[in-house]
Amino acid sequence: MSRLKFSLRIAGRYLFSKKSHNAINVISGISSAGVAVGTIALVVVLSIFNGFELLFSDLFSAFDPDLQISLKQGKQFSIDTPEFEAVKKSEGIAVFTEVVEENALLRYKEKQMPVLVKGVSDDFKQMTRIDSIMFDGEFMLYDGAFERSVVGAGIAATLGLSAYAIDPLYIYAPKRTSKINLLRPDQSFNQSGTFISGIFSVQQNEYDNQYVLVSLDLAQALFEYQANEVSAVELRLLPFADTQKVKNDLQKLLGDEFSVKDRYEQQEAYFKIMQVEKWITYLILSFILLIASFNIIGSLSMLIIDKKEDIITLRNLGADQKLIRQIFLLEGWMISAVGAVVGIIIGTILSFLQEKIGFIKLGPGFIVENYPVVIQFSDILLVFFTVLVMGFFAAWYPVRYIRSDYK
């Protein structure tokens, strides 16, 4: 029998068999339960963070394209080139949408506010899931007679807008191709009037409080773009297309002058903040778990004292100091491992029930009714590894003080 197998067998007997003092049983159970509670908290909280990340990703996907092409330096560019003709015919591309996006001033009756005007081509509706986030009215940018606009819910609340309002919404943009007239500053702006057709709500301030959607023709005229000039090209991919492969192919085709961004890169700052929050929470809960693991030190110290006679017997049978320390180190490690396994099982079950049933509510006024939860196997492995590492160091502290003069 190998030394490790022998040590595991003895440690297992100490852990699962009745000890001479019932108090040691209770303390070992409390130590394992403390580790289990900390493990449950880690599994559940990390799963909730995953759920919120997926939730916001779905909200962004209703407005953001699969891929976005823009200049690395500069603003507008022409799509009347062989490269963009090749982009339209590239494998995996389902919808090619031209976009003009610029800052402008919005005026409705006596109220004003700065906004981002986004002019889009007719296939924008097929490129996004804009219909799924319409709060009021419908998505329509031209009705055959009048220019229409779709505004974010935050803008509508600030200006007092409603779908199909009778009064026009005026958009002002500074002229790019002429000098400012100091005597008549109002002549230094291009102006266009539209009628509201709908209000959308992404439930994110950077969209709802800033964006106004208009037709591409109106935006090009307002911001003095040529007919073939845009500020970005947005793409929707076919359902089974490999996003990374298409992105790499397009980047190679367009060269270093252009940037091709996927959905994550378009909202890179937001998702990075979410990841930072997740891992800060993980560190805080890991610190709490470390404190819970200190119980193992007391439990193992009492066990070593209780098993003094066993240690003497093992020495008389030829066991060396390393083997004896290995037995009690494995004993302490097994206490944390049992707590980790129990905690992971309970935490996973609770997360699964929340995902399927939703027994913990967020309350009224939130995007969803229940706390969103997504269980990731990588998080479970991370939690298990974290508990084992902490359990090892908690067990090593008392084990290293086992006296070598027990005879």
If asked whether residues 116 and 202 sit together in one domain, one would say yes
If asked whether residues 91 and 137 sit together in one domain, one would say yes
If asked whether residues 356 and 294 sit together in one domain, one would say yes
- Measured CA to CA in angstroms, residue 371 lies from 24, 46, 52, 57 at distances of 40, 12, 8, 15
If asked whether residues 31 and 115 sit together in one domain, one would say no
If asked whether residues 164 and 71 sit together in one domain, one would say yes
pLDDT of residue 155: 93
Number of folded domains in the chain? 2
If asked whether residues 322 and 376 sit together in one domain, one would say yes
Boundary (domain end) residue, out of 208, 233, 266: 266
If asked whether residues 32 and 171 sit together in one domain, one would say no
Say if 377 falls within a structural domain. yes
pLDDT of residue 151: 93
Domain of 167?
Answer: 65-266
If asked whether residues 89 and 166 sit together in one domain, one would say yes
If asked whether residues 204 and 287 sit together in one domain, one would say no
Say if 327 falls within a structural domain. yes
User: Is the Cβ–Cβ distance between 202 and 133 less than 8 Å?
Assistant: yes
Whole-angstrom distance, CA of residue 337 vs CA of residue 109 = 67
- For 31-85, give the secondary structure using H, E and C: HHHHHHHHHHHHHHHHHHHHHHHHHHHHHHHCCCCCEEEEECCCCCEECCCHHHH
Whole-angstrom distance, CA of residue 203 vs CA of residue 201 = 5
pLDDT of residue 314: 65
- For 291-312, give the secondary structure using H, E and C: HHHHHHHHHHHHHHHHCHHHHH
If asked whether residues 233 and 316 sit together in one domain, one would say no
Boundary (domain end) residue, out of 230, 245, 266: 266
pLDDT of residue 90: 87
- 3-class secondary-structure state, position 88: helix
pLDDT of residue 228: 86
DSSP character for 258? E
Question: Residue 171: what are its φ and ψ, rounded to 5°?
Answer: -120, 130
Boundary (domain end) residue, out of 266, 292, 323: 266
Say if 405 falls within a structural domain. no
For the chain (407 residues), the mean pLDDT of every run of 10, in chain order, is 62 59 66 85 90 80 86 88 89 90 90 92 85 87 87 91 86 76 66 91 85 92 89 90 90 90 84 87 87 75 68 66 70 80 91 84 68 88 88 74 55
pLDDT of residue 212: 94
Whole-angstrom distance, CA of residue 307 vs CA of residue 314 = 11
Locus of tokens 């006596």: 110
Say if 142 falls within a structural domain. yes
Q: Exposed (0-12), middle (13-18) or buried (19+): which is 114, by Cβ within 10 Å?
A: exposed
pLDDT of residue 178: 64
Whole-angstrom distance, CA of residue 16 vs CA of residue 13 = 5
pLDDT of residue 214: 93
If asked whether residues 276 and 244 sit together in one domain, one would say no
**Count of helix runs (H) and strand runs (E) in the chain:** 13, 12
Whole-angstrom distance, CA of residue 374 vs CA of residue 344 = 14
If asked whether residues 53 and 144 sit together in one domain, one would say no
Torsion angle defined by CA atoms of residues 133, 135, 140 and 141, in that order, rounded to the nearest 10 degrees: -90
Strands 111-120 and 211-215: parallel
Say if 372 falls within a structural domain. yes
Say if 295 falls within a structural domain. yes
Say if 128 falls within a structural domain. yes
pLDDT of residue 288: 84
User: Is the Cβ–Cβ distance between 320 and 7 less than 8 Å?
Assistant: no
Say if 407 falls within a structural domain. no
